[in-house]
Structures are given as C-alpha cells and as structure tokens.
Amino acid sequence: MKTTILIIEDNQKNAYLVTFILEKFGYQVIHAQDGEAGIKQALQGKPDLILLDIQLPVLDGYSVARELKKNEEMRLIPIVAVTSYAMPGDRERILEVGCAGYLEKPINPATFISQIEQYLPANKRGTSLGRIP
C-alpha cells in the first residue's frame, strides 16, 4: 500500500509543485484547499503525513493542527507546516500547536523529499535518495 500524504494548501501552484514532486517519488497525494476541508480529508483519508500551509481560508493552519491533535486517531500522524511565515517566533508557535516540523516556502525541489521524509518511518518512505530523479 502506497504512503499517503495530505497536502492542505490553498495556492494551486504550490499544491501542484508539491504534488508533482511527491508523486515522482511514489507517494499517493490527497489534497484540500482550506482548513475545514483539510480536517475532513485527514479524518477520511487517514494519511501517513500531513503537509499544512498556515495561511488558509476558513480555518488557519494553527487551528487545523490543534483540531487534528485533539483527535486520538490523528494524534500520531506527523504534521509538517510548509509556510511562508518566517518571522521570529513563527517556528516556535507552529511547533507549539502540534506540528512536528516546519519548512519555509518557497520549497527547494532538490531537497524537499529528504526534508519531509525525516518525518516518516523508513518503511513509509518513497523511492528517493532525497533528490529528484
């Protein structure tokens, strides 16, 4: 069974790039464009990893992370914030709400896979050596 990654991202270009990279490495990708839809997708799809934008319509990423971490089934699923928030204190605030990690946008396609795979167990990782084939 393929490793499933949920992308909660409202920017179509960012979602397309991340999806392209992940699928290239053998991951199954599901997508939500706002925070509320992201929570629903997470509960239905039970992904192995969630990539979460912080600036989202309906519910922001902070609220999404808090809600997911309240749910017993979702508590163990790692959430990685992928965001342009890079001000002092943003990283700490993101980690405080339950995110396992933080990646700044714009992402670097050459290192993106190795950055997110550190949050997956070895048996859930794609076909990567951390770089685009």
User: Tell me, which fold does domain 4-124 have in CATH?
Assistant: Rossmann fold (3.40.50)
- Residue 65, token pair as written in the block: 């992370």
pLDDT per position as a tens digit, 88-130: 788 899 999 999 999 999 999 999 999 999 999 888 988 654 4
C-alpha torsion 30→54→113→29, nearest 10 = 0
pLDDT per position as a tens digit, 27-55: 999 999 999 999 999 999 999 999 999 99
Instruction: Delimit the domains of the chain by residue range.
Output: 4-124
- 35 contacts 9 by C-beta, under 8 angstroms: no
Instruction: Write down the pLDDT at residue 90.
Output: 87
pTM: 0.92
